[in-house]
Structure 1
Amino acid sequence: MTATFVHSARPVRCSRSSAAPAERLARIDRLATLLDARFAIPFTKVRFGFDSLIGLAPGIGDAVTVGLSLYIVYQAHKIGAPKHLVARMLGNVAIDGAIGAVPLAGDVFDIMFRANRRNVRILREHLERQARRHRHSKRTSF
């Protein structure tokens, strides 16, 4: 039995025994969308989320959004992301936090950089590669 998690056009298949990682991925994917792409500026393709809005509050807003971004990285670690992937994700959070702390310009950067969506994409691509390798190794073994 397999469970399928679908986001956009990319399904991620997980065996029944790994339903918890699929659920975690779904949860952090929803959080990343809320933070980075929940709203659209009318008549444009520009999307933004609560990260940009909360970041407007000097100091505390940026600390809150970095904390939420770190939660996504922590969940990726719990799913089983390798250390080099977690380090790359932490780098994205650091860049987003450092530049996002600059008043106004940082908020514009948040809209364009979307560290949380980027980190979920990195994790999803890793899990898809891992699943392909697993399927391939099953086919070649006797």
Structure 2
Amino acid sequence: MPLSQEQFAKLAKDLPGMGSDPHSVRARVEAMEKVLERSFHIPGTKIPFGLDTVVGLVPVLGDVVTAAMGAYIVWEARNLGMSKWQLIRMAANVGVDTAIGAVPLVGDVFDFVWRSNSKNLRIIKKHLDKHHPGTRIIEG
């Protein structure tokens, strides 16, 4: 039996991290950034890397996929009501990552160093800490 739009909205609202409130958005963006930038470590070191680096090794398709995932973070920022200037900075971070990341070998090293999604997460956290301080997570 299919769900109505109202039933789906209620179900999504009740799931942790699935709402449109700033706390849920923060949780989703932090999770996406971790998957894209810090999921793994180079063996024998503490240097993190993520799917952005790994998937970027696949010519063209990898860059398109990681650009779409980075664009999702910018979309979430737009839903938070962030300023156009912040959104432009974030889109530029993803654009630079995608453009240079498309260059074979050089782009793969650049993906490892640039970390556009981490830069965008910092922009979002700064906005949330200022405008929605209740979303702040104290790490200890």
1:102 corresponds to 2:129: no
Structure 2 equivalent of residue 47 of structure 1: 48
Aligned residues: 115
**Cα distance in 1 for residues equivalent to 2:96 and 2:26:** 23
Please report how far the alpha carbon of residue 130 of structure 1 lies from its aligned counterpart in structure 2 after TM superposition: 2.8
Structure 1 equivalent of residue 16 of structure 2: none
Aligned pairs for 1:1-142 (under 5 A) are 20-131=21-132
Q: 3-state SS of the aligned residue for 1:88?
A: helix
**Cα distance in 1 for residues equivalent to 2:110 and 2:21:** 33
Structure 2: stretches of 5+ with no match in the other structure: 1-18, 134-140
RMSD: 1.6
Please report how far the alpha carbon of residue 37 of structure 1 lies from its aligned counterpart in structure 2 after TM superposition: 1.1
Please report how far the alpha carbon of residue 131 of structure 1 lies from its aligned counterpart in structure 2 after TM superposition: 4.4
Can you list the C-alpha shifts for 1:66-86, whole angstroms capped at 9, x where unaligned?
011001100010011111100
Percent sequence identity over matched residues? 43
Can you list the C-alpha shifts for 1:3-47, whole angstroms capped at 9, x where unaligned?
xxxxxxxxxxxxxxx971110111011011101111100222321
Of Structure 1 and Structure 2, the greater strand share is in 1
The 8 Å contact of residues 22 and 132 in structure 2, kept in 1 or not, is answered as no
Deviation above 6 Å: which 4+ runs of structure 1?
A: none
The 8 Å contact of residues 22 and 128 in structure 2, kept in 1 or not, is answered as no
Amino acid at match of 2:98: G
Structure 1: stretches of 5+ with no match in the other structure: 1-17, 133-142
